[in-house]
């Protein structure tokens, strides 16, 4: 089953660059980790309209989704709380439209 974790971070004022560097380093480590079976992709985003707002998305394909989040996602969430406000959520893929084709789950 395909699912994703979204970890949003609102960096404290003046820590934007530090948070961006930390997120990039954390995602590189996650991508290299052999302890993430089922992890398809890990991506860092920043919001287009305001500095200091970031998100990490972890894309998974496992037999069952981890409703409360993966060990990796929960660990990232805990580590990132030092930089500002953090929100962690899990989403299950329902329908995907790709190049004009719809794949219902």
Q: What average pLDDT does the segment 82-97 reach?
A: 90
* pTM for the whole structure: 0.85
Choose the weakest-confidence range: 7-21, 29-43, 71-85, 89-103. Answer: 89-103
Spatial distance between the Cα atoms of 63 and 22, rounded to a whole number of angstroms: 31
- Which tens digit of pLDDT belongs to each residue from 28-83? 888 777 778 899 999 999 999 988 899 999 999 999 999 999 999 999 999 999 88
- In angstroms, rounded to a whole number, what is the distance separating the alpha carbons of residues 3 and 91? 6
Question: How many C-beta atoms lie closer than 10 Å to residue 12's C-beta?
Answer: 14
Q: Of residues 98 and 26, which shows the higher confidence score?
A: 26
Q: Interhelix angle for 71-80 vs 16-32, to 10°?
A: 160
pLDDT at 34 (0 to 100): 73
């Amino acid at each position: 089953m395909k699912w994703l974790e979204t970890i949003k971070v609102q960096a404290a004022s003046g820590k934007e660059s530090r948070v961006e560097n930390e997120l990039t380093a954390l995602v590189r480590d996650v991508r290299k980790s052999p302890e993430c079976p089922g992890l398809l992709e890990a991506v860092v985003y920043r919001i287009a309209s305001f500095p200091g707002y970031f998100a990490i998305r972890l894309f998974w394909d496992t037999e069952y989704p981890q409703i409360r989040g993966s060990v990796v996602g929960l660990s990232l969430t805990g580590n990132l709380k030092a930089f500002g406000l953090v929100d962690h959520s899990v989403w299950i893929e329902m329908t995907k439209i790709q190049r004009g084709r719809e794949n219902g789950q």
